[in-house]
A and B are shown apart, each in its own frame.
Chain A
Amino acid sequence: MNTLRRLIRDRAALLGLIIIALLILAAVFAYPLSTFPQDVTNYDPPHRLLPPDGTYWFGTDRMGGDIYSRLLFGARLTILIAVVATSAAVLIGVPVGLVAGYYTNRVSDLLMRVSDIFLAVPQIVLAIAIAQTLGPAIQNVILALSVTYWPFWARLVYAETRSVKNEVFIEAAIALGASPLRVMVLHVLPSIASSVIVRTTIGMGGTILVAAALGFLGLGPPPPTPEWGRMIAESREFLPQAWWYAAAPGAAILLVVMGFNLLGDGLRDVLDPRLRRDVSAR
């Protein structure tokens, strides 16, 4: 596991790894770790909008729910949305990109044209249109995110496939009689894999941000679901007094996204030194 060892040596990447591990732990062990697990659904109006203290570590929200506990359960949502939406986008986009990149025919053109249309608009703009039409629910958020994200992968894999296609080892494989499918899956895919892995990691962070924005706009899962973005939106009418109400969920988002970004950067440096640049494009 030389790669892992090199990754751990990069302190920033290590920090990212730790943060993500903490996120997963928080989500999995939300029940034992939380102080008021019932506050995910229960209301406790007498204790609403209390500042952070010994009992309510991050204070309480407008319904009296313990923010710390709700954040922990919100981690589950965050992971669910990020993993499912990104995976769906990758699972659709990568094959599309491979096929479009490998062949040079009208189908390939069409696929890229379609991708370009989606990429012509910032992701959130289309996601808003879709989520608004379908209604506020977690599956609609995931759908909206996946539908608007796969073209990015298609284009990325298309470009990489096109450039790899000219390599000698691909020519050799084809000359030896390998079928297109075999070439794509066994030869092209492994050589672009590190790029895909790096961008997937960074993409998770970006997906979380867009999901939070949708939640903030009221297009995400409705109350009482502890979605981080919507919690921030709820806090607005209680500012400036209840500052913790806005600070806590936002800090959670910042921490998690930073974790994915750091890990992604570290993976990039380790997996493919050729890509070694201090840039981070989604």
Chain B
Amino acid sequence: MPPTLFGLVLIVFAISHIVPSDPARVMAGENAPPEQVAALRHQYGLDLPLPWQFAHYVQDVATGNMGTSLFTQRPVAEDLVERLPATFELALCAITLAIVIGVPLGVVAALSRNSLLDHVVRIVTISGLAMAAFWLAILLQLVFSMWLGLTPVQGRIDGWGPDPITGFYTLDALLRGDWQTFGEALRYLALPVATLALPAMATIVRFTRAGVLNVMSSNFVFYQMAMGIPRRRVVWKYILRSALIGTLTQIGLIFGTLIANAVVVEAVFDWPGLGSFAVHSILQSDYNAIMGFTLFVGAVFILVNLTVDVAQAVLDPRAQ
């Protein structure tokens, strides 16, 4: 993990230095005298040779200093950490929904192969994977919030959320027994979660279906059924287990798509998470924030993949 992370820092540093701009001049302003610009440049170490600047950057990042947001004037790291729970809650709910609906659906579709249900499922999954996430978000917003008025248009909650324990509005509301806030939090979660869950569910359904079909035609299942073990038991015991392991393998891939989609989905629903932070930073040309976001998401992503690899090794001895 560290070499990959270091490589990522290198790439981010390289990207932010592609365009020969002068941050000192930007900071000093248009009308600043050259001496002031030079002084600023010296103060921030911008007159040092690039390798030195990179060394300082690595040191900064290692201690959690990702610069100051040009827009919010706060340390980027602070902004990111503050917004992490919102995105995390969204992602967790979306993945849970996708698995809870997707795995059974995939199993059923495989067992009733080429039936009407199977065909409908295939159409839905193919469409789900071909839709632009931000478009789906806008459509859902249009239909359910604007036309039907069932869900709020934007935001995470009306007013203030529950006093934070975990940072998850749903969990915190539950822990405090605040049913009304819990319900409200769910209402606000509904559309963003649905938008993120659909492509994830589509992928899960496809992999599960394929995995079940694979297992169903395998030797040991055939043997079990030939031995007279009822089909139902064979299905639920072996096929489901391999389906779930298959899902775990895909979590890394699904999580990547989820994060990628979260950027635009949060923008559409004005969800105060990492994604909308990135979008606002883009609009403000807040380079520090964007680079910090890239590094942060990269680190989180690497961590998640590592966890999945470990979990996979633990759960499936074959994968070793």
- A49 at the binding interface (Cβ < 8 Å): no
Chain B residues lying within 8 Å of A239, measured Cβ to Cβ, are: 138, 141-142, 146
Pick from A120, A130, A210: contact of B298, CB below 8 A.
A120
Of residues 175 through 217 on chain B, the ones whose CB sits less than 8 Å from some CB of chain A are: 203, 206-207, 209-210, 213-214
SS class, residues of chain B in contact with chain A: helix
A130–B147 alpha-carbon span in the complex (Å): 38
Q: Which residues of A contact B (CB under 8 A)?
A: 113-114, 116-118, 120-126, 128-130, 132-134, 205, 209-210, 212-213, 216-219, 229, 232-233, 235-236, 239-240, 243, 246-247, 249-250, 253-255, 257-258, 261-262, 277-281
Name which of B8-16, B23-31, B78-86 contacts chain A. Answer: B8-16
**Known pairs A120-B8, A133-B287, A254-B135. 17 more at Cβ < 8 A?**
A116-B4, A120-B7, A120-B298, A125-B293, A126-B11, A132-B290, A134-B19, A212-B134, A217-B264, A217-B279, A219-B282, A229-B134, A250-B135, A253-B130, A254-B130, A257-B130, A261-B126
> Cβ of A279: which chain B residues have Cβ within 8 Å of it?
206-207, 210
**Chain A residues in 8 Å Cβ range of B207:** 279
Whether, in the assembled complex, B267 has its beta carbon less than 8 Å from a beta carbon of chain A, the answer is yes
> Which residue of A117, A132, A205 contacts B130 across the interface (Cβ within 8 Å)?
A205
Shortest Cβ-Cβ A-B pairs, 5 listed: A250-B135, A117-B7, A240-B146, A258-B130, A257-B130
Residue of B nearest to A123 (CB): B260
Q: Evaluate contact between B131 and A280: CB separation under 8 angstroms.
A: no
Return the CB mask of B238-265 against A: 1 if under 8 Å, else 0.
0000000000000001001101100110
Q: Is the interface of A mostly helix, strand, loop or mixed?
A: helix
Given A133-B287, A217-B279, A240-B147: A262 in contact with B126 (beta carbons within 8 A): yes
B282: chain A residues at CB < 8 Å are 128, 132, 217-219
Closest Cβ–Cβ distance, residue B26 to chain A (whole Å): 14
**A216/B294 in contact, CB under 8 A:** no
Complex Cα distance, B77 from A67, in Å, reads 42
* B134 contacts across to A, CB distance below 8 A: 212-213, 216, 229, 232-233
Chain A residues whose CB sits within 8 angstroms of the CB of B256 once the complex forms: 122
Task: Please tell me if the beta carbons of B8 and A117 are within 8 angstroms of each other in the complex.
Answer: yes
Q: Which residues of A contact B33 (CB under 8 A)?
A: none
Give Cα A189 to B139, complex, Å: 44
Contact of B15 among A130, A213, A247 (CB under 8 A): A130
A205 contact set on B, CB distance < 8 A: 130
Measured CA separation A213–B131 after assembly (Å):
11
A229: chain B residues at CB < 8 Å are 132, 134
Q: A213-B134, A243-B142, A258-B130 are in contact. Are A129 and B290 (CB under 8 A)?
A: yes
Q: Are A278 and B283 in contact (CB under 8 A)?
A: no
For B302, the chain A residues whose CB sits under 8 A away are 120
- In this complex, which of A114, A134, A209, A258 has the most chain B Cβ atoms within 10 angstroms of its Cβ? A209
- The residue on B at minimum CB distance from A240 is B146
Known A-B contacts A128-B263, A240-B146, A258-B126; A133 and B19 likewise in contact (beta carbons under 8 Å): yes
Cα(A98)–Cα(B91), bound, Å: 36
Residue of A114, A212, A246, A261 touching B142 (CB-CB under 8 A):
A246
Partner pick for A118 among B11, B19, B297, CB 8 A cutoff:
B11
A253, B132: Cβ atoms closer than 8 Å: yes
CA distance in complex: A35, B281 (Å)? 39
Q: Does B18 contact A (CB under 8 A)?
A: yes
CA distance A229 to B267 in the complex (A): 14
Given known contacts A126-B11, A278-B210, A250 and B132 CB-to-CB distance under 8 angstroms = yes
Set of chain B residues within 8 Å of A217, measured between Cβ atoms: 263-264, 267, 279, 282
Q: Could you write out 12 A-B pairs with CB less than 8 Å apart?
A: A113-B4, A116-B7, A122-B259, A129-B294, A134-B19, A216-B134, A240-B142, A246-B138, A253-B132, A255-B130, A257-B130, A279-B206
Are B127 and A258 within 8 A (Cβ)? Answer: yes
